[in-house]
Each structure stands twice: as structure tokens, then as C-alpha cells.
Amino acid sequence: MTILSVAIFFSESQVQSLETANIIRKPVYLDYAATTPVAPEVAERMAACLTLDGTFANPASRSHLYGWQAEEVVEEARAQVAALIGADAREVVWTSGATEANNLALKGAAEAWRESHPDGGHIIVSAIEHKAVLDPVAWLEQRGFRVTRLQPDHYGQISPQQVAAEIVSDTFLISIMQVNNELGTINDVQAIGAIAHQYQCLFHVDAAQSAGKLAIDVSPGHIDLLSLSAHKFYGPKGIGALYVRRHGDVKVKAIIHGGGHERGFRSGTLPTHQCVGMGRAAELAAQHLADEPVRIAALRDHLWRGISDLPDVQLNGHPQDRACGHLNVAFGGCNGETLLLSLRELAVSSGSACNSASLSPSYVLKAIGLTDALAQASLRFSVGRYTTQGEIDFAIEHIRQVVKKIHHL
Ligand SMILES: *Cc1c(COP(=O)(O)O)cnc(C)c1O
């Protein structure tokens, strides 16, 4: 019987006391690209916005002090999010996350375009966007829009020239992510945006993976729409934002209708605590931007050096143009499922999407040229703010033991 399966016979509090007694150990968290824990500084601010003695009110309540105070903290948070990306606070629209921000950007821009172009139009995306871009775009395709999906190079990059080559007379919208969530590979979104604008196309960037890891700057004016998610940078889950550039050419129709909140872009009572949490997380991200990515990249590179001599391992993604925390590795000759089950001391993501029974290999890894077998034998390690050198050393030892055992070494 394994140590972990013992846990099911104990109550939660008993498990906790076993944990503190170090009898069972939680796996090392190396899945920061999936989500991050809320920073204590953020949790503290959020907690002050929940109860009667805190700033709990509806920010849209204009008739009393409670409402005014809630509005004040929400607007402060909006300014903090805007500052992180070089935007004006009036250009930030709160959403429930990057999924909703992407839906609003893509469907909203397409609906606005259709008002003056009833026959639809042409949209360009990359083939390795997050599903939160690919699925809304497929939905638009079913409703009469034409879509080009650009194939990335072997590292997962899309070049500005590639984008330029696909633009036709009715291309109105281009959506390219800044950092790929599986690989960490970075695209030059400023250069792609400049191309988009040369041809009068709107340019949307899914920046869910880049905030807090690399500088995002909308101020040069090459980006019209940009999606953010708080829980990828130590804020809470369930809140995000869409940057909508204030310019006459940038027209977006609402997809959620109600009380006309957020200048009509997105109705619904603002979750004061969530907005404040995202704002504080953005402020911390901006403060840490000079040193944190360097420290995280050093830990990530240490992890890679510790395992790169194992048989048939290969790095997936760009060796240099890569966000600080990402390390996606193919373990050639290993069965992916066996690998994941054996690495029980680590919390990481696999190169497969688990859908009910079958393990289908990642479309991102396949798009950069991996075979089904190699995609399934790939793991994404992602390092973050609270990762320690000790955890990385432990992970290296554990991975080495497991992989050597699988190879009968
Ligand atoms: C996490 C993520 C999303 C989805 O964000 P949510 O806030 O969880 O909806 C979208 N795009 C990318 C690139 C992501 O990493």
C-alpha cells in the first residue's frame, strides 16, 4: 500500500496532523502555469472586503457611503491592473477571467464587425492558442466567419511575416497569445500588432500567461484588446480583465447583457473582493518584475540542468524566448501515464488532455512536431514565486530515480 492511499482512511484533520508530523508529505507544487496560490498580501486585502465591517458593498450603489467606498477600492484596483500593462484605467473591463475576456474580445469584435459587414469576414489565430481562444473562434466559424489557423515553428513561435502573408481584404481580427501556456514560448506581439495595424486589423493578445512574468506594454498602441487572468499571477480565481483600447476603430459588442455595468461592455455586479485581489496582485507583480522572473528562471534552469542528461529527454519550446517558469520536457521511451503516476511526489501537468477515458496527446505539442508517443511522454513543470531551491533539488532526485527505473537503469 502506498503512503498516499493511506490518507483516505483518515479524516481531514487527521491528515493535517500527519502532514505536520511529516508522516505524509504533500507533493511539491510545480504547476504554477495552471494556477498560482493567492499571495498572502492579496488574501489580506480581499478578506477586508467581505464582511459588514469591511468594504463589502455593491460598487454600483450610488446612494450611500458603503457603495462609494466599494467603488473607490474597485477603481483603485482597476488603476493597478492598468498600470501593469501601460493602459489607462478607463480601458480596463473586469471579467470573470481570461476565458471570458477572450470570448468578449473575439465574439464582441466579430459582432461589431458584422454590423457593417453582414457577409462576415476573416479572422487569423495561431493553431496553438488556448482553448479559450480556439473555441470561440470555432463558434464564430460556424456562424459564417472564415478562420485561418497559423502553424507555429518547431519552438511554438509565430512570426510577423507569417501573419502578414495570410491577411486578405476582409481580415478584421488577429489573435495571437504572448506566452503559450504549455511551452512558455514568447511571441513578439508588438511586431505582430504593428503588422495587424498596417492592414487595419484589430489585434487581440491573450496575455494570461505573461502577466507578472514579462513586461506587457499596450502604450505603443499596437494592441487593441488584451486578456488577463488574476489567478495566473497570485490573485484569486474567478476574476480577469479585458483591456479595450480607447480608439474609434476598436469596437466591441457586449456578450453579457444586464445592468449596463463596465460602460456597457460587461454587465453584472462587480465582485469587490475579487477586483481588489486582482488589483493588489497586479501591483505586486509590477513590483517584482525586475527580480522575480530572474530568480524563477534560475530555479527552472537548475531543474533542467539536473535532468537533461537522462536518456532521450528533450526540451519542448523555445530555449531562450521562453517565460521564466516554464519547463516542458519530453521523456523519450517513457509511457506518459506511467511517468505521471510514478512522479507522485510532484504536482505537474502532463502533455495530454485527460478526457474521461482516453488520453489524447496535446495539440500544442503535436503542432510543434512531436509524435503522439512523445507528446504523451511530455510533462510541463512550472516554477513560481514560492518555489525553493530545496524543492527543485528534491524534484531533480525524484525525476532521476523514476526515469532511470522506467529505463531499467
Ligand atoms: C489560464 C489561461 C486562460 C484561461 O484563464 P481563466 O482565467 O482560467 O479563464 C486563457 N488563456 C491562457 C493562455 C491561459 O493560460
In total, how many domains does the chain have?
2
Cβ of 130 closer than 6 Å to ligand 1, yes or no, is yes
Q: Which of 334, 120, 344 has its CA nearest to residue 352?
A: 334
In a domain, residue 17? The reply is: no
Q: Are residues 259 and 381 in the same domain?
A: no
The rounded percent of the chain whose pLDDT value lies above 90 is 88
Q: Are residues 198 and 61 in the same domain?
A: yes
In a domain, residue 7? The reply is: no
In the reported structure, the alpha carbon of residue 251 is separated from the centroid of ligand 1 by a whole-number distance in angstroms of: 23
pLDDT for the residue numbered 352: 63
How far is the CA of 77 from the CAs of 47, 120, 280, in angstroms? 15, 37, 7
In the reported structure, the alpha carbon of residue 231 is separated from the centroid of ligand 1 by a whole-number distance in angstroms of: 9
pLDDT for the residue numbered 1: 33
Where does a domain end: 288, 307, 337?
Answer: 288
Give the pTM: 0.93
Ligand 1 atom with the smallest distance to the CA of 238 is 7
Q: Which residue has the higher pLDDT, 400 or 337?
A: 400
Cβ of 181 closer than 6 Å to ligand 1, yes or no, is yes
Q: Are residues 145 and 266 in the same domain?
A: yes
Q: Are residues 127 and 102 in the same domain?
A: yes
In a domain, residue 64? The reply is: yes
Ligand 1 atom with the smallest distance to the CA of 231 is 7
Q: Please pick, among 49, 275, 324, 354, the residue that the annotation labels catalytic.
A: 354
Q: Is the pLDDT of residue 246 over 80?
A: yes
The residue whose C-alpha atom lies closest to atom 5 belonging to ligand 1 is 98
Cβ of 98 closer than 6 Å to ligand 1, yes or no, is yes
Choosing from 130, 210, 278 the residue with most ligand 1 atoms within 8 A of its CB, the one to mutate for a pocket test is 130
Q: Is the pLDDT of residue 117 over 50?
A: yes
Computed from CA positions of residues 302, 306, 309, 311, in that sequence, does the dihedral angle turn out positive or negative? negative
Ligand 1 atom with the smallest distance to the CA of 101 is 9
Q: Are 89 and 82 in contact (CB under 8 A)?
A: yes
Q: Which of 40, 59, 38, 62 has its CA nearest to residue 49?
A: 59
Question: 280: pLDDT confidence band, cut at 50, 70 and 90?
Answer: very high
Q: Is the pLDDT of residue 65 over 80?
A: yes
Q: Are residues 260 and 334 in the same domain?
A: no
Where does a domain end: 259, 288, 317?
Answer: 288
The residue whose C-alpha atom lies closest to atom 9 belonging to ligand 1 is 99
In the reported structure, the alpha carbon of residue 98 is separated from the centroid of ligand 1 by a whole-number distance in angstroms of: 5
Q: Is the pLDDT of residue 125 over 50?
A: yes
Which CATH number does the domain housing residue 86 bear?
3.40.640.10
In the reported structure, the alpha carbon of residue 2 is separated from the centroid of ligand 1 by a whole-number distance in angstroms of: 34
Cβ of 183 closer than 6 Å to ligand 1, yes or no, is no
| Structure-block grid coordinates of residue 307 | 535532468
The rounded percent of the chain whose pLDDT value lies above 70 is 92
Q: Is the pLDDT of residue 54 over 70?
A: yes
The residue whose C-alpha atom lies closest to atom 3 belonging to ligand 1 is 98
Q: Which residue has the higher pLDDT, 377 or 11?
A: 377
pLDDT for the residue numbered 356: 44
**Structural domain that includes position 345:** 290-406
Cβ of 122 closer than 6 Å to ligand 1, yes or no, is no
Region of residue 236 (left: phi > 0; alpha: psi -120 to 50; beta: else): beta
Q: Are residues 183 and 48 in the same domain?
A: yes
Q: Is the pLDDT of residue 5 over 90?
A: no
In the reported structure, the alpha carbon of residue 229 is separated from the centroid of ligand 1 by a whole-number distance in angstroms of: 6
Q: Is the pLDDT of residue 354 over 60?
A: no
In a domain, residue 5? The reply is: no
Q: Are residues 117 and 214 in the same domain?
A: yes
Cβ of 262 closer than 6 Å to ligand 1, yes or no, is no
Where does a domain end: 266, 288, 310?
Answer: 288
Q: Is the pLDDT of residue 8 over 80?
A: no
Q: Is the pLDDT of residue 2 over 70?
A: no
Q: Are residues 282 and 335 in the same domain?
A: no
Q: Are residues 267 and 353 in the same domain?
A: no
How far is the CA of 399 from the CAs of 15, 227, 343, 376, 378, in angstroms? 26, 35, 7, 17, 13
Q: Is 232 helix (H, G, I), strand (E, B) or coil?
A: helix
In a domain, residue 11? The reply is: no
Q: Are residues 268 and 145 in the same domain?
A: yes
Which CATH number does the domain housing residue 394 bear?
3.90.1150.10
Question: 7: pLDDT confidence band, cut at 50, 70 and 90?
Answer: very low
Cβ of 96 closer than 6 Å to ligand 1, yes or no, is no
User: b/e map of 359-371 (b: 16 or more CB within 10 Å)?
Assistant: bebbebbbbbebe
Q: Is the pLDDT of residue 3 over 90?
A: no
In a domain, residue 77? The reply is: yes
In a domain, residue 382? The reply is: yes
In the reported structure, the alpha carbon of residue 114 is separated from the centroid of ligand 1 by a whole-number distance in angstroms of: 27
Mean pLDDT of 204-210: 98
In a domain, residue 27? The reply is: no
Residue 275: active-site member: no
Cβ of 229 closer than 6 Å to ligand 1, yes or no, is yes
In the reported structure, the alpha carbon of residue 117 is separated from the centroid of ligand 1 by a whole-number distance in angstroms of: 30
Cβ of 206 closer than 6 Å to ligand 1, yes or no, is yes
Q: Are residues 274 and 381 in the same domain?
A: no
Q: Which of 195, 194, 193, 177 has its CA nearest to residue 185?
A: 177
What are 32-47's pLDDT values in tens digits?
999 999 999 999 999 9
Mean pLDDT of 208-215: 96
Q: Are residues 295 and 385 in the same domain?
A: yes
